[in-house]
Amino acid sequence: MPHAGLMNERVLGPEAGPLQRARLHLRGGRRRLSQGKTAAGVVTLADALSAALEWYMASPERRSTIAAGALDDLRDDKTAYRILVRSGVLDGKFDLEAFDRLIDYALQHELPGFDHGPVLAGIERVMTQLGVMPFDEAALPPEDPQTF
């Protein structure tokens, strides 16, 4: 994954670690998509989204503003996404179910000719609504050119 060797998530902690991973994977996913590694790019964006949701839920302050029930598993991406939509943090325009189907397919197949533009735009919209974007890519550790 794009964060391998670029960060120590445990040292960064439960908020800074997932935030850094989300940003590194967003950058790495974009790069992979631009290189035509579409399936790998989509899967990398999926991890970026998962890390962003983890980061959002890691903050007691942010978590206190959402409409979560006592039995809601905030570590589950689908549950976290649904709660954030219900709470008004996310607008719900990103089709997470369709994205999950795409991820399942991309884990087994390449995606030749797939127009990744709408998926990337949707992920970036969610990242902006969560507060992960915008960010200064120059502030991230430099990418290793040997990374897939």
Total structural domains in the chain?
Answer: 1
Longest dimension (CA), the chain: 45
Mean pLDDT of 132-143: 88
In a domain, 140, yes or no: no
Angstrom distance (rounded) from CA 140 to CA 143: 8
Residue 137 pLDDT: 87
**Residue 48 within a domain:** yes
The answer to whether the CB of 94 falls within 8 A of the CB of 112 is no
Residue 107 is assigned to a structural domain of this protein: yes
Identify whether 139 is part of a domain.
no
Confidence of residue 33 (pLDDT cuts 50, 70, 90): very high
The DSSP secondary structure of 45-60, one letter per residue, reads HHHHHHHHHHHHHH-H
Q: pTM higher than 0.85, yes or no?
A: yes
29-43, 64-78, 84-98, 101-115: least confidently modelled range: 64-78
Quick one: average pLDDT of 130-141? 91
Express each pLDDT in 81-119 by its tens digit: 999 999 999 999 999 999 999 999 999 999 999 999 999
Q: Which domain holds residue 81?
A: 9-134
